[in-house]
Amino acid sequence: MTRGKLIVFEGIDGSGTSTQVRLLHETMVASLRTVHATAQPSGGPIGNMVRQILRGRIVSRDNRPMDWQTMALLFAADRQDQQQNEILPHLENGVHVICDRYVQSSIVYQGVSADDSDAQRWIGDANRYIIPPDVVFYLRIDAATAAQRRAARNEPAEIFDDVSFQEKLIAVYDRMAAMFPGVPVMTIDATQSVEDIATSAWRVVSKMLNGED
């Protein structure tokens, strides 16, 4: 049986990764592909705890946000659990998996939080057994536009929503292709229409899937 492909969408909050995961999933189902959509943090026990931390509902013992090392390890633990119990079983059964964020998010977000040149290497070591994606779509958007989109969602703010922090994230995301040699990274202008972004992503995925047939 041919192994499924792992497709990842990355970008700062408000770039539209969740929307594009949904649209690609719908397109692949319509084209008779067997596909599973998921996200990180996952819906598992560790992932649910991480979501509570991101929303400020769980804090450290002194009521301060969790330090970046703790967050990086929690994300890595959730990712490993999800890989073993969700992602790998699907891939090994020939099911394609689309993931809203992946290890790239940890290296970018916790790396920026650490403000330490060795942090990315440390986070990479914590995720050394995580399988690489077959393609990563980086939805690039400026911080101001992304902030407007987040505000329009009328959802609780998360600890990473500060615009200046988001600008730092963009600077690191822009280097993602160099940071992950061997992993195809496709940058898409996320200020385009939702439909144009979806078309660009499907064009790449369709070509990749047809190449395996």
Whole-angstrom distance, CA of residue 29 vs CA of residue 148: 31
pLDDT of residue 17: 98
pLDDT at 190 over 90: yes
- Looking at the predicted structure, is the pLDDT value of residue 213 above 50? no
Sign of dihedral through CA atoms 170, 174, 180, 185?
A: positive
Q: What is the pLDDT of residues 69-116, one digit of tens each?
A: 999 999 999 999 999 999 999 999 999 999 999 999 999 988 888 777
Q: Tell me the pLDDT of the chain averaged across its residues.
A: 92
- What is the pLDDT confidence band of residue 154, given thresholds at 50, 70 and 90? confident
At 157 the pLDDT is: 63
pLDDT at 142: 95
CA distance 104 to 148: 24
Delineate the domains of the chain, giving CATH numbers in brackets.
6-212 (3.40.50.300)
What is the pTM (predicted TM-score) of this model?
0.92
Tokens 């057994």 belong to 129
Strand order in the sheet with 96-100: 35-39, 96-100, 6-10, 135-140, 185-189
Strand partners, 9: 100, 137
Q: Is the pLDDT of residue 19 over 90?
A: yes
Distance CA 138, CA 113 (A): 20
